[in-house]
Amino acid sequence: MKLALAIDSARIEAELAELAGFSDSAAPSVTRIVFSATDGKARTWLKARLREADLEVREDAVGNTFARWPGTDKGAVGTGSHIDAIPNSGRYDGTVGVLGGLEAIRALQRAGFKPRRSVELLLFTSEEPTRFGIGCLGSRLLSGSLDAERADALKDSDGATLASVRASAGFPGSLNTVKLSPDYYSAFVELHIEQGPLLEKTGVPIGIVENIAAPATLRISITGEGGHAGAVLMPQRRDAFLGACEIALGVEAAALATRSIDTVATTGICRVFPGAVNSIPSSALLEIDVRDVDLGRRDAVLAAIEECSARVAGKRSLEMEAVVLNADPPARCDLRVIRALEDSCTSQGLTFQKMTSRAYHDSLFMGRIAPVAMIFIPCRGGVSHRADEFASTADITKGVAVLAGTLAELAG
């Protein structure tokens, strides 16, 4: 659908900067943990922007926030992302999809577009796993991928349950009411920074995501025997940390052994107890992230890591327990939505390339209840989850324009 779209680049840039100011760490980093006081202030600020655009705003029991531009017919087309941020990260991850989605709607309003299907902007709760140890909490519940009772029992590092924390943040009610019906959205499109270097390297402004990798998280607890660093001789030691180190190297080896560029594995957390320089570590905890677009290959890597862990534990006389926290299937994006993205790029004279998302996003879970696709824009150096994360206003503007054109086609 050809529209005279005018994207307000200056407004997007200003709003991204203003939202970044809601942070528990000093600029330029951003720290915004779900249901913190800072998260609450950011949500209040965002809801004011949504209402300024004459959108109908509602929230569910876990804090997912919906802002609807009503259409003339039944059905809705969705877009959106998240605004929670891991400690000391950047200002663009997730927020480009939320504020960019808002600007896409405003641009369509200014252009005089009248949606047949409603257009809805969705702010997902807790895409990041920082507080409760599981990513995409809001979209898992929306799609029915996470049991409500299990979700409410999740605990943060202070031992507080999701049930108590969300109630304190102003989101009471049963999580059983969160799940959406399979026909709630006729399509869902998420705009996001690439979080990788490919678009910048090729000089292509737009990536159209065809596949979203399947994530899995493995927690391994290792127990050895502590003791005085000077008194326990080397042959008698049962050092839990050294066992953890061997397992972490095994994680790398298992991913490399697939010989696939799409297989990645990361030991992102290693906690050592008691953590004293003159004490042999008596226990260690690892949390491991494994991703692939191929489910069988991903699961084979998980199995190889568990086998390696058992072998290391036996060799070093350690006790080991492995628990799979989540193991989700990959998502294949919908061809109809992809075609709408292609049409939007073509009508605006923007080149694009087809891509795989190795990072997972809320669209992974929305794909279980709606046809989905994603728009990627370049980010400098492929850097993300760091304070120096950066996407240019020009690239954000192009992404918003493509999103607006796609929403017009899907809603009109």
The model's pTM is 0.90
- Give the mean pLDDT of the chain: 97
Express each pLDDT in 146-165 by its tens digit. Answer: 999 999 999 999 999 999 99
The answer to whether the beta carbons of residues 372 and 334 sit under 8 Å apart is yes
CA dihedral 72, 74, 75, 77 (to 10 degrees): 0
Phi, psi dihedral angles at 397 (to 5 degrees): -60, -45
Structure tokens at 314: 């036996």
Confidence of residue 326 (pLDDT cuts 50, 70, 90): confident
Q: Identify any residues that bridge with 280 across adjacent strands, giving them in sequence order.
A: 227
For position 360, what pLDDT does the model report? 85
Statement: residue 1 has pLDDT above 60: no
Report d(CA 26, CA 20) in Å as an integer: 10
For position 161, what pLDDT does the model report? 98
Express each pLDDT in 387-409 by its tens digit. Answer: 999 999 999 999 999 999 999 99
Q: Across residues 348-355, what is the average pLDDT?
A: 97
How many C-alpha atoms does 277 have within 13 Å on its Cβ side? 0
Statement: residue 265 has pLDDT above 70: yes
Statement: residue 215 has pLDDT above 90: no
Structure tokens at 151: 């979700």
Q: Across residues 207-229, what is the average pLDDT?
A: 95
For position 22, what pLDDT does the model report? 98
Nearest alpha carbon to residue 289 among 361, 217, 365, 225 = 217
Statement: residue 167 has pLDDT above 80: yes
